Amino acid sequence: MTPADRRCRTPANTDLESIQIIGGGLAGCEAAHQAAEAGAHVVLYEMRPLQRTPAHKTDSFGELVCSNSLKTEQENSAPWLLKQEMRSLHSLLMRCAEIARVPGGHALTVDREIFSREIAQALENHPRIEIRREEVRAVPDNGIVVVASGPLTSDSLAVDISRMTGSDRLFFYDSISPIVAADSIDMSVAFRASRYGKSLDETADYINCPFNKEQYSAFIDALLEAEFYEPHIPEDKTPYFEGCLPIEEIARRGRDTLRFGPMKPAGLDDPRTGRWAYAIVQLRQENQRADSYNLVGFQNHMKFGDQARVLRMIPGLEKAEFLRFGQMHRNTYINSPALLQPTLQLTSDARILFAGQISGVEGYAESIATGLMAGRNAAALWHGEKPIAFPRETALGSLCHYITHAEAKNFQPANITFDLLPALDPEAKRKLKHDKKARHAEVCRRAQVAFEEFFNGHSAREFCEVSG
Ligand SMILES: Cc1cc2nc3c(=O)[nH]c(=O)nc-3n(C[C@H](O)[C@H](O)[C@H](O)COP(=O)(O)OP(=O)(O)OC[C@H]3O[C@@H](n4cnc5c(N)ncnc54)[C@H](O)[C@@H]3O)c2cc1C
């Protein structure tokens, strides 16, 4: 039987002959569409309205639980690049977003009801998609499965995923530290050192920002007076782990508490004074390129504007460029670098794929993107073909590369940013040193070339052409 013949094998007689997709959210809907368009038979499970989540308000497919924005459409930005790649791959949700679009400046903002309605129509009318409104309480033992049950995965399924992957590999809370660009740190103030000189390779691993007493006091005042985001859902009011509190909560417990916690100066000699500072913020290298650093233990709920203002009071970060702000919220996700392949298949059981927020990405567009990849790769498996990982130079490839290659020990979900894409070669970097816009444009150009070359090499057979 040729792949084309297999594509006509519809409808399936049993569930085992279908791709089973768990979750009718952003990732699950995109995965269902992609797999069905590639000729596979799909069963899409969604537990709402029978069982609710703390954030969803409707029983609609692809419900946007909070903002109605799929981020910027500004040309040559990383979120734009990701969306462009999805459009080229005939993403259903990108098409629905276009139909549901409302004015939102540079952002792709949508009318959430129209958006969901369009998705529902496409899925319900698809001859190869069967929809079942039920909770999947355990990952099916057989057949091809895409787990796309999202950040608020039901408890029984979460327990089963944790059994399957190892309980230390499923997280329930996101505590995201802010990240700054390395070249925006003032190294005439900050200094390199590891606590008590302890380092794996005898190097000074951390960048340290030292405070004197007055600076610390002013910082605590500003932190306590900052504006904070209201929790999205009741669970977000209390962080799960004492060991992972937001900095404002630590500061509320006493003016000196931070200085004995994440801002502890002990064991860090300031080379300019030869002594320990009054308090210290430590910055840890974020990627191999060493062009970004995260503020260790600085997860917080501050509004982004206030966060920039307050964190720029840290000595050495007065001109910091923030690549990501700190956040905390309820989020179920697996430790994908330890568990997944870049094709989004589970290493220990390749018939199971993960997509969406539970796979370790953050954000609407990123969830759709991994749904798209998982749907296509599930269809490839269904046809007896080899699942594919996209080139690293593309936004889709880099997103999947990040979630499967980041350091497993400190893994945190990520949005698409240029930080995830490979650096330009030294020559291009040198030429465009003083022109960030041009550097970003070059990264996007390179991604588009890699994307096209990849597609020319993987035409009909491996990546079945889908009809928009
Ligand atoms: C409160 C909150 C607010 C957020 N706000 C934003 C934002 O403003 N912007 C942004 O970019 N990102 C936001 N996110 C992050 C993320 O982008 C969204 O959660 C996004 O919807 C994730 O897509 P998904 O497909 O992975 O999960 P979801 O869209 O949540 O879809 C998962 C689906 O699986 C279903 N499900 C769960 N368990 C089962 C089961 N056992 N059986 C059957 N069905 C099941 C759920 O009912 C749900 O419909 C937010 C997340 C949360 C929790």
- Ligand 1 centroid–CA 251 distance in Å is 31
Torsion of CA 68, 307, 369, 142, to 10 degrees: -100
pLDDT at position 3 is 38
Ligand 1 centroid to Cα of residue 151, in Å, is 5
Indicate if 182 and 248 belong to the same structural domain. Answer: yes
Q: Ligand 1: distance of its center to the CA of 24 in Å?
A: 9
**pTM of the complete model:** 0.80
Domain closes at, from 306, 330, 354: 330
What's at 22, amino acid-wise?
I
According to DSSP, residue 147 is labeled E
pLDDT of 11 strictly over 50: no
- Spatial CB neighbours of 257, under 8 Å, sequence gap ≥ 6: 250, 251
How far, in Å, from the CA of 48 to the mean position of ligand 1?
Answer: 12
The predicted pLDDT at position 66 comes to: 81
219 and 246, same domain (yes or no): yes
For residue 355, pLDDT over 50 is answered with yes
* Domain match, 35 and 77 both: yes
Q: Which helix (H) or strand (E) holds 309?
A: helix 304-311
Report the relative pairing of strands 42-45 and 129-132 from DSSP bridges. parallel
Position with higher pLDDT, 347 vs 412: 347
Instruction: Please choose from 65, 303, 412 the residue to mutate so as to test ligand 1's pocket, defined by most ligand atoms within 8 A of CB.
Output: 65
Of 65-69, 94-98, 382-386, 418-422, minimum mean pLDDT range: 65-69
Contact of 89 with 454, CB cutoff 8 Å:
no
| Residue after which a domain boundary falls, among 287, 313, 330 | 330
Per the document, the length of the chain is 468
156 with 231, same domain? no
Is residue 468 scored above 90 in pLDDT? no
Specify the pLDDT at position 398.
Answer: 97
What's the CA-to-centroid distance between 25 and ligand 1, angstroms? 6
Q: Which residues contact 373 (CB under 8 A, 6 or more apart)?
A: 343, 344, 355, 390, 396, 400
Cβ of 254: how many Cβ atoms within 10 Å? 11
Question: Regarding predicted confidence, which is higher, 9 or 176?
Answer: 176
pLDDT at 380 over 60: yes
Report the SS3 class of residue 171.
strand
Lowest mean pLDDT among 108-122, 136-150, 245-259, 283-297: 283-297
SS3 211: strand
Q: What are phi and psi of 268, to 5 degrees?
A: -120, 95
Average pLDDT over residues 68-96: 96
Domain count within the chain: 2
Q: Which residue has the higher pLDDT, 169 or 467?
A: 169
Q: What average pLDDT does the chain have? A: 89
Residue 359 Cα distances to 108, 337, 402, angstroms: 24, 10, 11
Atom of ligand 1 at shortest range from CA of 28: 25
Question: Is the same domain home to 217 and 134?
Answer: no
Domain boundary among 297, 330, 363: 330
Closest CA to ligand 1's atom 11: 363
Ligand 1 atom with minimal separation from the 236 CA: 1
What's the CATH code of the domain at 298?
Answer: 2.40.30.260
Q: Which domain holds residue 122?
A: 3-169+334-467
Tell me, yes or no, whether 255 and 355 share the same domain.
no
Look at ligand 1, atom 15, and give the residue with the nearest C-alpha: 363
Q: In terms of domains, do 61 and 151 share one?
A: yes
- Judge if 182 and 125 occupy the same domain: no
Mapping DSSP to helix (H, G, I), strand (E, B) and coil, where does residue 19 land?
A: strand
Q: With contact defined as beta carbons under 8 Å apart, do 175 and 328 qualify?
A: yes
CA 180 to ligand 1 center in whole angstroms: 27
| Pocket of ligand 1 from Cβ distances under 6 Å | 22-28, 45-48, 53, 55-56, 65-67, 135-136, 148-154, 157, 232-233, 329-330, 356-358, 363-364, 367
One DSSP character per residue, 92-139 reads HHHHHHHHTEE--TTEEEE-HHHHHHHHHHHHHT-TTEEEE-----S-
34 with 125, same domain: the answer is yes
Work out the end-to-end distance of the chain between its first and last CA atoms, rounded to an integer number of angstroms: 26
What average pLDDT does this structure show over 292-306?
A: 92
Whether 146 shows a pLDDT value over 80: the answer reads yes
Is the pLDDT assigned to residue 241 strictly greater than 80? no
Summarize pLDDT for 33-57 with one digit per residue, the tens: 999 999 999 999 999 999 998 888 8
Nearest-atom number in ligand 1 for the CA of 67 is 8
| C-alpha to C-alpha distance for 365 and 343, rounded to whole angstroms | 18
CA distance 91 to 352: 22
- What letter represents residue 398's amino acid? S
Mean pLDDT to the nearest integer, 442-467: 74
Is beta strand 327-334 parallel, antiparallel or unpaired with respect to 170-176? antiparallel
CATH of the domain at 91: 3.50.50.60
Handedness of CA 20, 25, 28, 32 (dihedral sign): positive
Q: Is the dihedral of CA 238, 242, 246, 251 positive or negative?
A: positive
Answer yes or no: do 383 and 455 share one domain.
yes
Rounded distance between C-alpha atoms, residue 355 and residue 373, angstroms:
8
Ligand 1 atom nearest 150 alpha carbon: 27
133 versus 1: the higher-pLDDT residue is 133
pLDDT value, residue 196: 86
289 and 180 share one domain: yes
CA of 368 to the centre of ligand 1 (A): 11
The C-alpha atoms of residue 433 and residue 430 are separated, in whole angstroms, by 5
Residues 287 and 315 in one domain: yes
State the distance from the centre of ligand 1 to the C-alpha of 65, rounded, in angstroms. Answer: 7
State which of 66, 115, 162, 403 you would mutate to test the pocket of ligand 1, scoring each by most atoms of that ligand within 8 A of its C-beta.
66
pLDDT at residue 240 tops 80: no
Q: Residue range 403-413: average pLDDT?
A: 89
**296 CA → ligand 1 middle, Å:** 27
Q: Which atom of ligand 1 is nearest to the CA of 330?
A: 53
pLDDT band for 233, please (50, 70, 90 cuts). low
Q: For residue 259, give the amino acid letter.
A: R
Which residues is 142 bridged to in the sheet?
Answer: none
